[in-house]
Amino acid sequence: MKTTETDVLIIGAGPAGAIAAALLHREKFRVLVVEKQVFPRFVIGESMLPVSMNLLANAGLLDAVQRRQFMRKNGAVFLRGNETCNFDFSSQFTAGYNYTYQVPRADFDQTLADAVAARGVDVRYRHGVTAVNFDGPHATAGIEQPDGTALSVKARFILDCSGYGRVLPRLLQLEEPSTLPPRDSLFAHITGDVRPADREEGKIWICMHPDGAWLWIIPFSNGKTSVGAVAAPEFFQKFPGDPETQLRAILLGDPNAARRLAKLQFAMPVQRISGYSCSVKRLFGDKYALAGNATEFLDPIFSSGVALALASSECAAKVLIRQLRGEAVNWQVDYADHVMQGINTFRAYVSAWYDGRLPQIFFAPQRNPDIMRQVCSVLAGYVWDKSNPYVSQADRALMALTKVLGGLQRAAARKAASAGL
Ligand SMILES: Cc1cc2nc3c(=O)[nH]c(=O)nc-3n(C[C@H](O)[C@H](O)[C@H](O)COP(=O)(O)OP(=O)(O)OC[C@H]3O[C@@H](n4cnc5c(N)ncnc54)[C@H](O)[C@@H]3O)c2cc1C
User: Which residues on neighbouring strands pair with residue 189, listed in sequence order?
Assistant: 226
Is the CB–ligand 1 distance for residue 164 below 6 Å? yes
Is the CB–ligand 1 distance for residue 43 below 6 Å? yes
Specify the pLDDT at position 1.
Answer: 86
Q: Taking the CB of residue 351, how many other CB atoms lie within 10 A of it?
A: 18
Specify the pLDDT at position 419.
Answer: 85
Say whether both 232 and 340 belong to one domain: no
- 261 CA to middle of ligand 1, Å? 27
Say whether both 64 and 165 belong to one domain: yes
The whole-angstrom separation of Cα 266 and Cα 52 is 29
- 271 CA to middle of ligand 1, Å? 15
Is the CB–ligand 1 distance for residue 305 below 6 Å? yes
Q: For 241-293, what is the HEC assignment?
A: CCHHHHHHHHHHCCHHHHHHHCCCEECCCCEEEECCCEEECCCEECCEEECHH
Say whether both 127 and 268 belong to one domain: no
Q: Taking the CB of residue 236, how many other CB atoms lie within 10 A of it?
A: 20
Specify the pLDDT at position 408.
Answer: 87
Say whether both 170 and 191 belong to one domain: no
Angle, nearest 10°, between helix axes 369-379 and 337-354? 120
Specify the pLDDT at position 366.
Answer: 87
Q: How far is CA 341 from the centre of its chain?
A: 15
Q: Which residue among 35, 38, 47, 125 is best mutated to probe the pocket of ligand 1, counting the most ligand atoms within 8 A of its Cβ? A: 35
Give the residue whose CA is nearest to atom 5 of ligand 1: 45
Is the CB–ligand 1 distance for residue 34 below 6 Å? yes
pLDDT digits (tens, 9 = 90+) for 143-184: 999 999 999 999 999 999 999 999 999 999 999 999 899 999
Say whether both 131 and 268 belong to one domain: no
Write the CATH number for 323. Answer: 3.50.50.60
Give the residue whose CA is nearest to atom 35 of ligand 1: 12
Give the residue whose CA is nearest to atom 4 of ligand 1: 45
In a domain, 80, yes or no: no
Give start and end residues of each alpha helix (H) in 124-190: 167-171
Burial 198-232 (b: 16+ CB within 10 A, else e): eeeebbbbbbbbeeebbbbbbbbbeebbbbbbbbe
In a domain, 93, yes or no: no
Of 274, 306, 336, the one marking the end of a domain is 274
Say whether both 259 and 301 belong to one domain: no
Say whether both 126 and 64 belong to one domain: yes
Of 239, 257, 274, the one marking the end of a domain is 274
Write the CATH number for 203. Answer: 3.30.9.100
Is the CB–ligand 1 distance for residue 14 below 6 Å? yes
Say whether both 136 and 242 belong to one domain: no
The whole-angstrom separation of Cα 192 and Cα 233 is 28
Specify the pLDDT at position 421.
Answer: 60
In a domain, 78, yes or no: no
Q: Which residue among 100, 124, 129, 162 is best mutated to probe the pocket of ligand 1, counting the most ligand atoms within 8 A of its Cβ? A: 162
Say whether both 360 and 261 belong to one domain: no
- 167 CA to middle of ligand 1, Å? 13
Contact 260, 217 (CB under 8 A): yes
- 329 CA to middle of ligand 1, Å? 28
Q: How many domains does the chain have?
A: 3
Say whether both 249 and 294 belong to one domain: no
Contact 194, 259 (CB under 8 A): yes
Q: Which residue among 19, 33, 36, 102 is best mutated to probe the pocket of ligand 1, counting the most ligand atoms within 8 A of its Cβ? A: 36
The whole-angstrom separation of Cα 357 and Cα 344 is 17
Say whether both 199 and 169 belong to one domain: no
- 25 CA to middle of ligand 1, Å? 22
Is the CB–ligand 1 distance for residue 75 below 6 Å? no
In a domain, 365, yes or no: yes
In a domain, 121, yes or no: yes
The most distant pair of C-alpha atoms in the chain lies apart, rounded to whole Å, by: 87
In a domain, 79, yes or no: no
Say whether both 203 and 301 belong to one domain: no
Of 222, 255, 274, the one marking the end of a domain is 274
- 199 CA to middle of ligand 1, Å? 28
In a domain, 198, yes or no: yes
Give the residue whose CA is nearest to atom 30 of ligand 1: 163
Provide the domain limits for residue 191. 184-274
- 404 CA to middle of ligand 1, Å? 38
Specify the pLDDT at position 412.
Answer: 86
In a domain, 54, yes or no: yes
Low-confidence ranges of the chain (pLDDT < 70): 421
Is the CB–ligand 1 distance for residue 12 below 6 Å? yes
